């Protein structure tokens, strides 16, 4: 029986996961839970490859994964069975059979994230695991102006975690914006790929500008300095969502996610 490659669009609430990627035994991860669910459908082990590994506490509405199998199942069986056997904080949105040259990771041309900051004097009790919180007022217009300095291809070493395993820090920032919606300040960001903690480190740097601690022009200095110690803090994981992964049209995949909104 010939192998088939199957791609899935998934979402998950990362609050109770130690990130996406499998780790030491006894650690709860998205990959382990979803592989167990799909293995029950296949009646044999399933191993997943993802578009982007998210950290502890980070959410996804548009993660994409793929797996190879020689088991014959209808596509709806993978989705219905996978959702039935998955915990409630993981959901499969769509399933497609793809060509064997498709890779959830290497075929992607861009990845998009949304970061949600709850900007009010008092934290939210209801949304505490789904948004970040900043009690000082943030100037979203100044943050947006500073963010535009990151557009294009740059060395993003200033926003790279010390644990990052990428071979180099050059990435292409394709789009970035900051806007306010009531008590929420929202960052939307798209790049060809991201470094470990890159989005959260950018947000932490923008927050220093948003509070007036640093001027808009400081962002260019941080970027060009390529020194992580000169940038802002690493923002909380709770506000970060992987919302979409884009692929060349020949793969025939739907948009992978949806935009999370709180208000």
Enzyme catalytic residues: 55
CA-wise closest residue to 215 among 157, 152, 139, 158: 139
Q: Residue 92's beta-bridge partner residues?
A: 10
Find, among 18, 10, 13, 53, the residue nearest to 193 by Cα: 53
* Angle CA 253–168–242, to nearest 5: 35
Pairing mode of beta strands 240-246, 59-69: parallel
CA distances 227 to 168, 169, 260, Å, are 14, 12, 32
């Amino acid at each position: 029986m010939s192998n088939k490659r199957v791609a899935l669009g998934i979402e998950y609430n990362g609050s109770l996961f130690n990130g996406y990627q499998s780790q030491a035994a006894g650690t709860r991860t998205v990959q382990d839970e979803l592989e167990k669910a799909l293995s029950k459908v296949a009646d044999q082990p399933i191993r997943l490859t993802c578009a982007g590994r998210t950290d502890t506490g980070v959410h996804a509405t548009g993660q994409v994964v793929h797996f190879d199998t020689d088991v014959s199942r209808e596509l709806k069986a993978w989705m219905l069975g996978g959702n039935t056997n998955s915990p409630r904080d993981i959901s499969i949105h769509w399933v497609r059979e793809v060509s064997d040259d498709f890779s959830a990771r290497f075929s992607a041309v861009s990845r998009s994230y949304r970061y949600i900051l709850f900007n009010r004097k008092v934290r939210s009790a209801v949304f505490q695991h789904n948004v970040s919180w900043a009690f000082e007022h943030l100037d979203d217009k100044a943050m947006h102006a500073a963010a535009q300095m990151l557009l294009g291809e740059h060395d993003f070493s200033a926003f790279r975690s010390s644990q990052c395993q990428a071979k180099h820090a050059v990435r292409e920032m394709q789009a970035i914006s900051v806007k306010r919606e009531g008590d929420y300040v929202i960052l939307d960001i798209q790049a060809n790929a991201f470094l470990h903690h890159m989005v959260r480190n950018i947000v932490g740097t923008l927050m220093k500008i948003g509070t007036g601690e640093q001027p808009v022009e400081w962002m260019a200095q941080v970027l060009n300095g390529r020194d992580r110690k000169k940038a802002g803090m690493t923002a909380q994981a709770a506000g970060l969502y992987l919302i979409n992964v884009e692929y060349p049209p020949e793969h025939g995949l739907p948009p992978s996610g949806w935009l999370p909104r709180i208000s």
